Structure 1
C-alpha cells in the first residue's frame, strides 16, 4: 500500500490563477454611452463581482446591434469566457475559435488563444493544449499589449507545469514578473513559481518562495490565490508530519474558503483535515471528515484528492477492525490511483508527442530546403561537362544519405520513447498500465493452450517508516534493491511490473501453484536476508506476498488480481513477511471476505 499522501494538488493553483486573470476592481455602469468602455468595465468584473458581470453582459447584449464589429467580437469573447466558466467547454471552444479565426483583432485573438489553453487543459485534451502552447510561443516577440503578453506568459507557464517541465514553467513565471501590466500585481507570477516548485518537490513549509507568494496574494486582495497557497503550506505540514500545524492552519482559513465557495479548495481542505486527524490518531474524526469529502464528490469523479481520501478511510477502517469497510475503501483507492496514473501518463505522452511532431515538422522543412537546393544545382550542372555531372551525383548521394541518417535517428528516437513509456522511471520494470495489458495478453494465450500461471502481489512491509526514518532517497534505493532481488529469481518469460508506490506484481507463465508459492517464498527470504547499505545506512526490510493461480482462479486477470490482493491483505493482517496463496485465502479467509 502506498504511503498516506498529503500533497495538495497542482490543478487548483492552475485553475484558480486562470479564472482570476484580468480580475481588476470593478465599478458600476448604469448606462451604455461608450460600448468599448462598457465592455472593458464588464470584463474587469469577471471574478471580483461575477453576478454584476453577468448582469452587465445581459445589458450589453440588448445593445449588440449598435456595437461596432470589434466590440461585437469582444462581446463574443466575454460570452465564451462565461460559457467556459459555467462548464460547457465544447461550446466555449467553438466560440473561442471563431474569435481567433475571424475577429481580425490580433490582441483579442491572443487573449482568446490564452483562454483556449485553459479550456483544453481543463478538458484533458493535453496534446492539443501543448501544441497550441508551442504555437503561442512564436507570438510572444510580436505582442505589444502588456495585458495580453501577461496572459500568454501565464498560460505558457501553466501548460509547461502540467507537462512537468517545471524549470521552463518557472522561467515563464519570472518573465511575468518583468512584464506586470498596470493594475496587476505580483500575486499570479509568484503563485505560479510556487506551484512549479511544489510540483518539482522543491518546496518545504519554510521555503521563502511560498511565504512570499502568500504575503503578495494577501496584500493584493486575492483570496482564492491566497487560499491556494495556504493549502499548499498545509499540505507541506502534513508531508513533514506536523498534523497539528496543518489542522490549526485549516481552521484559520476555512471561513474564507466557505465564503468564496471554490469547490477544489473545499474538497482539498476536507481531505487534508481527514489526513491530519488520521496522523493525530483521531480515527473517529478522520473517518467523519473523509466521508464528508466523499459526499462532496460526484459518483464518477476521478482525482487525486479522492485517492488520498479513500486511503485515509482504508487505514482507519483497518485499524478499527472493520475489514469489509476497509476492503471497500481499498477498492475505491485502487480505482482513483489508476485514474490518477492514467492522467499523468496522458499528460506526459501528449507533451512528448507534441515535441516529436515539432521534430518531424523541422525535419520535413529541412528536407524540402535541401531538395530545393538540389534542383537549383541540377539546373546549373546541366550546362557543364561530364566531369561536373559526376560531382553533382556525389553531392546528391551525400544529401540522400543525410536524409536517411536523420530519418533513422528520428525512428530510433520514437522507438526509444515508446520503450520508455512502457517502463517505470525509477525501477526500469513495466509500469502499471503495461504490466496489466501484457499480463492480460499472456493469460489469453495460456487459456488457449490450457497452460497454467501464477500471479504474485508483493507489498513491502512498513515502507512508510523507511521513508519517514531514512528519507525518500533511501526509500528509492530500497525499491530498486527489491527489483534487483526479484529479477534474480525470475525467468525471461515472466512479467514483472511496479503497480504503484511499494507494490509490485509478477506473472509466472507456465507455472503451477506449488512452483509459484515456492518462487514467492524464495524471493521473500532473499529480501529478508539482504538489507540495503547506502552510504553507511543499513536498512533491513521485508515483504508480504499474495499468490493466485489459474488452476483455482481461472484466466481472467481481474479475478486473479482480486484473489492475489486478498491473499496479500491476509498476509499483512496475519503478521507480514509471509506468503499466502489464494487457496489458503479461500479455505481460511472466507469469513473476512
Structure 2
C-alpha cells in the first residue's frame, strides 16, 4: 500500500497524507482482509510517529472484526509496542499468547518478544529479559532481518551490562554495531555505543571511553532528531488536515446557504427583488457613508493644515514642512532661505474699511505670492498679516529677487474694483542657513529680526539678516504700535501696524506705506 511504502522509505509526511485519504474510506471497503491490512498499516505508521493512542484505537477496531491468524499476530506486535510507548503495563500471558499467534511468522514473533523484554527491563526483571532474548536469539538470527537482529543484540548488551556481565555486553554491542548500518536502527546504535562507553570507563580506558562517548553522543543526537522529525511530521500533517477540514466545512456551509437561496428563489421569486433592493440600498448607504467619511477626512486634514482664510499653510503645517525640507537640505548640504513678510500699516485698513476689507487684502496677498512658489517651497500664514516662505535650494539673492517680485505683485492689486482706496505693501526679512546653521527656530528668529529692521528702515523694503542685527538698536524710538507689537509677539497672531488710506504726506493717500 502507498502509506506503507512511504513509511518504509521514512517519508512519514507522505505516509500520513495517504492515511488521511484512505482511512475515511475504510468502512466502504467490502473485502475484510484488505480493510484490516489498511487499518494495521495505519496503526504501524502511528506507532512510528509516536501517536500510540491512535495505533491502539485502530488495532482495537481490527481485533473486534474477526481478523485472520496472521493479522492477530500483527495486532499483538503493534499493541505491545504502543503500550510500551504509553508506558502501560501488560500481562506476560498477553505477550506469550501474542507470540504463539505468530506461528509461522518468525519476524513478527521476534518483535513481540522484543517488546515483551523491553517491559521486563522497565520492571527491573533483567534476568528474565536476558533469558527470553537469549532463548530466541538463534531463531532471530535465522530470519536474516538486520533490524530485529541488531535490536536483540543491543538489548542484550544493555541488559548484560546491568546484570554485571561485561564480556557478554561487549560481544553483543560489537555484534549490534556490525550490522546496524545495514539495519538502519538508530536506537540499537545508541545502546551499543553507550555500552561500549560504559565498558571503557569500567576498564579505566579513558581514551577509548572518550571516543566511545563521542560516538554515543552523535548516535543519540541522530536518534533524537529522527524521533522528533517523525513526531513533527504528524503535527504538520495534522495541521494541514485541520485546515482542509475547515475549508471543507466552510464550503459546506456556503453550499447550504446557496441551496437555501435557491429554494427561496424557487418558492418566492418576488423576494429576489426585495433582496436586490435591500442590497442596493445597503451598498448605496455604505458607499455614501464611505464617500462622506473620506470627504470628512480630507476636510479635517485640510482644516488642520491650511489657513481657513487664505487657503495656504497655517503656522503649524508650514513649520512641519519647513522642518522636513530643512533636514533634507542639511543632509545634502544645500542652501536654503526663509523669507518672512508683514503687511505695512495693515491695522488702519481694518479700522477704516472693516475686517472684510482686511480679509480680502490677505486673500489677494496669498494669491499674488502663490504663483511665485515652486512645489518644494513652503508658503504659510503665521498669523494676522504675517506670512513666511521657506525656499530650499535657493540663496539670499534669489530670496531678494522673489521678495521684489512679490512686492511688485502687491502694488498691482486693484483695490478700487472692490470699492476701497488703499495700496498694499510689505516689509520683507530674509534669513539664510549660512547664518542659522540649518536651525528652523534660528531661521525664523533671524528673518523676523530682518523684517523688523525693514520696518524700522522705512517699510516697503527687503532686508537680509546680518550678524549684529539681533543686537541692533535704532536711534529712532519705536512707534507706540511697534512697542505694542513687540509686547504681543510670540504666538501665531501679532499686533500689527497698518497705514490708513489717507496719507500723512502727499502720496500716501492711496498707499499702505
TM-score, normalised on structure 2? 0.49
Q: Return the index of the structure with the highest Cα Rg.
A: 2
